[in-house]
Amino acid sequence: MRVDRVVIGAGFAGTVIAERLARGLGERVLLVDRRSHLGGNAYDEHDEAGILVHRYGPHIFHTNATRVVEYLSRFTEWRPYQHRVLARVRGQLVPIPINLDTVNRLFSLSLREDELEDWFAERAETLPRLRTSEDAVVGRVGRELYELFFRGYTRKQWGLDPSELDASVTSRIPVRTNRDDRYFTDTFQAMPREGYTAMFARMVDHPDIKVALDTDFRDLPVTLRSAGVVFTGPVDEFFGQPFGPLPYRSLEFRFETHDTPWLLPVGTVNEPDETAVPYTRTTEFKHLTGQQHPRTTIVREYPRADGDPYYPIPRPENQALYERYRALAERTPGVTFVGRLATYRYYNMDQVVAQALATYRKLADERLPATTDLPAKMPRVSIPTTSTAAAASTASAPARSGTTIP
């Protein structure tokens, strides 16, 4: 068997690239992941009770990128879903992002929409620039709301004070003067109707994509690694950390199934009080998936310093360290780095898909690499056998140039 490209990591980044290279460019692709499943951190599965859960924490799809929706819609239908989150503050569950109802309920006020901007302005601190995650909130709504909603949550989530994190982290959460209580306002908000894993299985259901699970790229033969590699794991790990480890934040997920149909009033309840509980949020999956079931499963997220790398940590010194790895990556011919861990960016799923599609277009513009022989003895190779594969044919494969594949 021959391969044109080895794609390392079967999350969104790797699966999109593999799918495009095979279907769009006619390449033969080996897609490897050290985990035992497709989908990376977006992997979902049915738990023992038969409830669809996200093994690596709640994943809610939302985007303004039409091209990303069009692309993924080749592999899944969608169930519209607007995520809502309540924060437990002073014994009450109030909407986050902070909106008119949040302020009125918390402070026993009856402000109107046109009055709230002034109310925030009276409390906002005047700062020369909004550099940190503390600045971003305090400069917008003042210190009291910052301490109630952001300080404790952020210190738990990141193990750092908001003053030590880039403004971009808390800026993910808007502040509203109206009563909109949706967590996201993107034009497209929906969940894959049969789940993420079913979608990924359809993406790789192609004769020219071989999937090798339980396989670390370091165990691949050097000959195979040296030609046409796309890497989507942690970039520092790829190089053996010559400049030291890039910091990532990890989480422990604790699942509970209850003998009741519903536990939470909305998809997620946030716990910004640092002293009350050590976890950051609780999510009830049935809100997200729309599954009907007499029981229910929730997950709580406990932030950890050690464990699987889930979050790049946005702060200047980490960015500076990443730049050294990026420079090294650029000097490494034949290897393309794409995805949240490989480019050290706090990206949502849709941003990773957009990045992967853009990377594919660049690869398509380049000459195909030399075809490499796969060794006779390969790690366990499994190809998902979704009979329902609805992978609509997309751009037809151009004639192969440069490399002949027997």
> Which residues make up the interface to ligand UDP (CB under 6 A)?
87, 96, 149-150, 153-154, 157, 169-170, 172-173, 270, 272
Q: Which residue's CB is nearer to ligand UDP, number 31 or number 98?
A: 98
Question: What is the smallest separation between the CB atom of 314 and ligand FAD, expressed in angstroms?
Answer: 14
Measuring CA to CA, which residue among 53, 23, 20, 46 is closest to residue 287?
Answer: 53
Complex with ligand UDP: residue 15 or 102, whichever CB lies closer: 102
Task: Answer with the entry of ligand FAD, ligand UDP, none that 195 interacts with (C-beta below 5 to 8 A by kind).
Answer: none
Give the DSSP letter of residue 396.
Answer: P
Closest CA to 289 of 79, 37, 68: 79
Give the residue among 54, 11, 19 at the shortest CA–CA distance from 352: 11
- Of 24, 31, 23, which is closest to residue 5 (Cα–Cα)? 31
Q: Which does 150 bind (CB under 5 to 8 A by kind): ligand FAD, ligand UDP, none?
A: ligand UDP
DSSP line for 23-57:
IIH---EEEE-SSSSSSGGG-EEE-TTS-EEETTS
CB nearer to ligand FAD: pick between 146 and 196: 196
Closest by alpha carbon to 199, among 26, 51, 19, 3?
19
Query: Would you say the C-alpha torsion 49, 50, 54, 55 has a positive or negative sign?
Result: positive
Work out how close the CB of 200 gets to ligand FAD at its nearest, in angstroms, rounded to a whole number. Answer: 10
**Of 3, 5, 14, 188, which one interacts with ligand FAD (CB under 6 A)?**
14
Q: Which is nearer to ligand FAD, 27 or 350 (CB)?
A: 350
Q: Which of 26, 95, 233, 384 binds ligand FAD (CB under 6 A)?
A: 233
**Which option in ligand UDP, ligand FAD, none does residue 310 bind, with CB closer than 5 to 8 A by kind?**
ligand FAD
Closest CA to 350 of 114, 11, 37, 63: 63
Please name the residues in contact with 179: beta carbons below 8 A apart, sequence gap of 6 or more. Answer: 99, 100, 101, 113
For the segment 326-365, give every residue that binds ligand FAD (CB under 6 A): 339-341, 347-350, 352
The footprint of ligand FAD (CB under 6 A) covers: 8-14, 32-35, 40-42, 56-60, 216-217, 232-233, 251, 310, 339-341, 347-350, 352
